Amino acid sequence: MQNFPEAIVKNEKIVFPKGNFNINREQKFIARLRYYFSLSILAVFFLLAMPPIMLVAKIKRDPDYAYPWASWGAKAWMRWSGMKIKVRGQENLAANQSYVFISNHRSYLDTAMMFACTGKKMGVIAKKEMLKLPVAGKFMKYVNVVAIDRTDQESAINTMKNASEKLRSGISFGVFAEGTRAFPNELLPFKKGGFYMAIDTGFPIVPVAMKNTDYAMGKKQNLAIPATCEMVLLPPIETKNLTAEKDLTDLLIKVRGAIAEELLK
């Protein structure tokens, strides 16, 4: 039996008790078809809908024009993939406050929920490979998806500074602190970039627990199983008057612990 408190303090991988993910052969076949149908929807959306939206945004010189389309697209994609969306904790958020949302990450669905369902105008920290995608990569720049290259420390620092400037301008940011998708029932060690950004800007951190998305569309499962995907926005944690040198480790432990506690429920 894993020692969860020790794994939190040491920032080690946590493996949660397995849920009932068993499906029969027929259900698995249908779920696989639905998965590839889901990816096809994304491809059509990016290749056919995004270019004219970007063109209009460029003509109007209004990058915000793309936001409602992107938000609608994220929610529609989840619905068409067979998912229901449940969000808890929005009452914890102040109306005119920007936040750094730090979340676990188990599925492609997490990104759509983070972007479209917090009730805030969002940017997201993504891996650099995302912005290399044709059409999609260019569109992401219109909606403040910021790419980070974790293999290049100087580039990663500059990326986080860019995100910090956007945060100060009124855009909240979502950070998947594990840096990659975890396998079902796992919580990977957290990287520190999002915590540096929150401390540097003094904006509160909202711990976010993504639940059931690993069952619905888990990493390397190649399945899309209709499910209720839940995003829990936990009470914000203040970062004012904190310093990276003294407080970052304790802050990481506090945020990761809150997320892990919610995932255990």
Question: SS3 of 122, please?
Answer: strand
Which residues constitute the domain of residue 139? 22-264
Q: Is residue 6 a part of any domain in this protein?
A: no
- For position 214, what pLDDT does the model report? 95
Rounded Cα gap, residues 81 and 107, in angstroms? 13
Asked if the structure places residue 197 within a domain, the reply is yes
Q: pLDDT (tens digit, 9 = 90+) per residue, 31-87?
A: 999 999 999 998 888 888 888 998 998 899 887 898 899 999 999 999 999 999 999
Q: Is residue 40 part of a domain?
A: yes
Domain membership of residue 247 (yes or no) is yes
CA–CA distance, 51 with 260 (Å, rounded to integer): 40
How far apart CA 24 and CA 147 sit, in angstroms, is 39
85-95 residue pLDDT tens: 999 999 999 99
Assess if residue 12 is contained within a domain: no
Domain assignment present for 9: no
Q: Give the model's pLDDT for residue 125.
A: 83
Q: Is residue 2 part of a domain?
A: no
Residue 142: per-residue pLDDT: 77
Torsion region of 82: left, alpha or beta (phi above 0 gives left; psi -120 to 50 gives alpha):
left
Where residue 136 sits, what CATH number does that domain have?
A: 3.40.1130.10
Q: Which of 106, 238, 231, 251 is nearest to 180 (CA)?
A: 106
Query: pLDDT below 70 — which residues of the chain?
Result: 1, 20, 128-137, 149-153, 155-156
For residue 14, being part of any structural domain is answered with no
User: How many domains does the chain contain in total?
Assistant: 1
Distance of CA 52 to the CA centre of its chain: 26
pLDDT of residue 139: 74
Rg (CA), the chain: 18
Tokens 């990493």, located at residue? 219
State residue 49's pLDDT score. Answer: 86
pLDDT at 127 (0 to 100): 73
Give the per-residue pLDDT at 220.
93
> DSSP states of 184-221 as a string?
TTEEPPPPSHHHHHHHHHTPPEEEEEEESHHHHHBTTT
pLDDT for the residue numbered 129: 65
